[in-house]
Amino acid sequence: MTAFRYRVTINRKRGLSDPEGATTRKALQDLGFISVESVSFGRILDLEVDSSDAETAQAEVEAMCAKLLANPVMEDFTIEAVS
Amino acid sequence: MTAFRYRVTINRKRGLSDPEGATTRKALQDLGFISVESVSFGRILDLEVDSSDAETAQAEVEAMCAKLLANPVMEDFTIEAVS
């Protein structure tokens, strides 16, 4: 078995409001950073998966995202292999 | 003025415990994903900054991270320009 590492990036779908981002933009502007136009938040997950081969590992990570890690109604996710 | 876009990636410093990651790993294993070895969480922020040039914009983003967006005691951050 080999350890495969992946980075999953999860962002809100375009068009959905992002209250956390809007609040952060306001806080930055209140601190004097008036040049900031927009802020949006996302999450990253670094995963290590034991598997016999990379295809199986990546398929597992996709299943994890669909089942638990991301919310398919509100979020998009991308998976990239990390060497 | 031009709009410059940056992606800030914020991760816990190495060696700090990550309770959210540990809980997620356990939840994945309980769902049957027994091959998952480790999970760690981070945040991404996509920022748009209005500025006359890229150096000023990047310096502003660094100041924002140091002042508000990241916790320098527990977190490391990286800034990358997005075209």
Pick the residue from chain B with its C-alpha nearest to A51: B35
Q: Are residues A11 and A74 in contact, defined by beta-carbon separation less than 8 angstroms?
A: no
Residue ranges and CATH numbers for the domains of chain B are 2-82 (3.30.1280.10)
**pLDDT for the residue numbered A1:** 87
- Answer whether A39 sits within 8 Å of B46, measured CB to CB: yes
* Model pLDDT for residues B53-70, shown as the tens digit of each residue: 999 999 999 999 999 999
Q: Are residues B16 and B74 in contact, defined by beta-carbon separation less than 8 angstroms?
A: yes
- Answer whether A44 sits within 8 Å of B48, measured CB to CB: no
Q: Considering CB atoms only, which of B31, B43, B50 is closest to A41? A: B43
| Count of positions (residues) in chain B | 83
* Model pLDDT for residues A15-45, shown as the tens digit of each residue: 999 999 999 999 999 999 999 999 999 999 9
- Answer whether A68 sits within 8 Å of B27, measured CB to CB: yes
Q: Considering CB atoms only, which of A46, A49, A68 is closest to B31? A: A68
ipTM for the whole complex = 0.85
| Count of positions (residues) in chain A | 83
Tokens representing A15 are 């068009």
